[in-house]
Amino acid sequence: MKSSFCQGISMVNTWMGNNLKNEWNGWVIKNNSRIILKERGWDITM
């Protein structure tokens, strides 16, 4: 019982971690492209 409960928690943690990682990556990519565009003189707010 206890081991399956721990497994469930670690599964939820990996799932949440993956989702957060994807959101963070998307945010970083979006911001990097915004910064690059700013350097080229195109100020685009996404």
The predicted model scores a pTM of 0.36
Could you report the per-residue pLDDT of 1-45, keeping only the tens digit for each?
567 777 777 887 787 788 778 777 778 778 877 777 777 776 655
Could you report the per-residue pLDDT of 5-14, keeping only the tens digit for each?
777 778 877 8
CA dist., res. 38 & res. 45, Å (int): 10
Planar angle of CA 13, 30, 40, nearest 5 degrees: 155
Q: What is the SS3 assignment for the chain? A: CHHHHHHHHHHHHHHHHHHHHHHHHHHHHHHHHHHHHHHCCCCCCC
